[in-house]
Chains A and B, each alone.
Chain A
Amino acid sequence: MDKIPILRLGAYLLVSIQVDLYDRLALTLEADLVQMVNKTGAKGVLIDISAVSIVDSFMGRIIGNIASMSKILDAETVVVGMQPAVAITLIELGLPLKGVHTALDMEKGMNLLKTMIGDSSGEEDQETDPDYDDTIA
């Protein structure tokens, strides 16, 4: 069966979805990712969906679930590279993905993660602008 690889990079986990997700694959990803967060003690999860062109309400929910689960395990989730059509679809489906952080591309997503984790651990990057919050409130 297909599997989506989860890469570990320091305190972060990287997931790049290169195929169109079908339901079973999404569920496997959800389970694997939570396992990995738990095992590695990752502080941040970066999900790249720039190659995903089709979503449905189930997919939207899975992404939301992953974010909530990671949050419980003390890891922030950032979804990067969403296609315009995907964004419009999710909005039309009434899924604004509350609680999920988003960024335009991998680089910006990584910066956002660093800022957020730096903020929460209180060790580095104290100059962060308090107004700069990409959370979908």
Chain B
Amino acid sequence: MSIKTHILLQKKKKNILELWMKNQLADEGLREDLISNDELRGQSEELINVLVGNLSGDNFTDFDSDEWSPVIEILGGIAITRARQGFSPRETGNFVFSLKEAILEVLQEEIKGDPQTLFTESLKINRLMDNLSIITFETFIKGREEVILRQTDEITEISTPVIRVWDGILALPIIGTLDSARTQVVMENLLQEIVETGSSIAILDISGVPAVDSLVAQHLIKTVSATRLMGAECIISGIRPEIAQTVVHLGIDLSNIITKATLASALAYSFKIMKLEVKRAGAVNKF
């Protein structure tokens, strides 16, 4: 009987597509803002062509067979595009599930008189479509993970600017959690900038670091030590009261490091080291 089914499906391809499109367009979750109807039809047609084209009597239940790879490829492509476009998992899932409904509907229409055959064939179609949904989901999640990874990289890139606040004074505001990978980037950027500008003082501002634990402190100490090896002084500023409390409670020794509460006081201290004075403009004339 299964031989009949795939021929049947091939014959009824048009019907299935129409039904499927109707199902998709009738769905409340249709995202017209993300995908146009024409585009949706194009995707659906492509998938159904490949799917029905690759159906044969014997590969119905064997999903490892090579004949499925074009279907998987197309489905994967669609799932990844949808993940990037910002479709929800439900919307992506519905794409495949509505196809199943359409196929089953056509099947029911065709094999009306024979409930036994209808049941066996439906079961097969079910199994096939479930497998395809799983593939869709796997690729969808993979696509989402890629997006997350890329964003993480971007955040690391942009969030560690080295600012030249004065001739010979660099400031480096750290925003976000400080982990090993990030410390490495921060350290490299800072040291490179010290060499390029010939600065003798670097201010590491940690007001944007949400929490300091022993690991983060270790990273900070490393950065300070490396800066000192280069021949520059490193000041840590922006230490909030809570952070001071945690640091002391954890028993971290920061006594070898110059620490200041605010960036302003760190800058004032740097001026003092460099023997610079900041004066009010009017003060020059007064004696």
Contacts and interface: CB of A to CB of B under 8 A. Distances in A.
Interface string B184-216: 100110011011001110000000000000000
A65 B225 CA distance: 19
Interface string B90-109: 00000000000000000000
Contact of A102 (B198, B229, B273): B229
B231 A88 contact: no
Given A88-B191, A91-B222, A132 B231 contact: no
A131 interface: yes
Given A84-B188, A84-B192, A137-B256, A102 B228 contact: yes
Nearest to A107: B198
A61 interface: no
Nearest to A131: B273
Interface in B135-159: none
Given A91-B226, A132-B273, A137-B256, A84 B191 contact: yes
A96 B229 contact: yes
A84 to B, nearest CB: 3
Nearest to A80: B231
B275 interface: yes
Contacts of B187: 84, 88
B273 A104 contact: no
B171 to A, nearest CB: 17
Report, as a range, how many residues of chain B touch the other chain: 20 to 34
Contacts of B79: none
Contact of B200 (A81, A82, A104): A104
A97 B272 CA distance: 26
16 contacts: A79-B229, A82-B231, A84-B194, A84-B195, A88-B187, A88-B226, A91-B225, A91-B226, A96-B225, A102-B228, A102-B231, A104-B199, A108-B231, A109-B231, A129-B273, A129-B275
Contacts, number: 69
Contacts of A132: 273
A120 B254 CA distance: 28
A90 interface: yes
B16 interface: no
Contact of B230 (A104, A129, A131): A104
Contacts of B199: 104
A79 B191 CA distance: 16
B230 A96 contact: no
A84 B187 CA distance: 9
A124 interface: no
Given A104-B194, A137-B256, A84 B231 contact: no
B225 to A, nearest CB: 4
B256 to A, nearest CB: 5
Contacts of A91: 222, 225-226, 229
Contacts of B275: 129
B121 interface: no
B132 interface: no
A37 interface: no
